Amino acid sequence: MPYVSRDENGNIVGIFRSPLGGASEELAAEDPEIIQFLSDGGSSEQLKWELFVSDLLMGRLVEDVIDALIERNVMTITDLPTGAQRKLMRRRHLRQKMQAADDLLSDEGGVL
């Protein structure tokens, strides 16, 4: 998630990949404030960022639709082409690893 710096009025004035100087606030890439900041002026780079965020959200949407179809027995994962199956399984594996790491680091997990 990107980090933002703000002016004295609370407006975003910069976006960074890591916390730098005054950029200590972390926001989701699809946060409306970030989209607005990047959309002002409609430059090519700003439009590319908005399209990138849209692609990320659309990828998750497709994944959720596939999961819903499988859960409702409308389709099985084997109905998908082999490459799509591999990609979907890789994403599931990564999500499980991320969840496991989050569980270890959470205060509620009791490990730390």
Q: Tens digits of per-residue pLDDT, 51-74?
A: 888 888 888 899 999 999 999 999
Specify the DSSP element, H or E, that contains 14. strand 12-16
The Cα-based distances of 84 to 5, 55, 67, 71, 78 in angstroms read: 39, 17, 13, 17, 10
Distance CA 90, CA 81 (A): 14
Q: Looking at the whole model, is its pTM more than 0.95?
A: no
Q: What percent of the chain has pLDDT over 70?
A: 87
Residues 6+ apart with CB under 8 A from 96: none
Phi/psi at 73 (nearest 5 deg)?
A: 60, 30
* Predicted pLDDT at 84: 94
- Give me the pLDDT at residue 47, please: 74
**What are 87-91's contacts with CB under 8 Å, separation 24+?**
88/63, 91/63
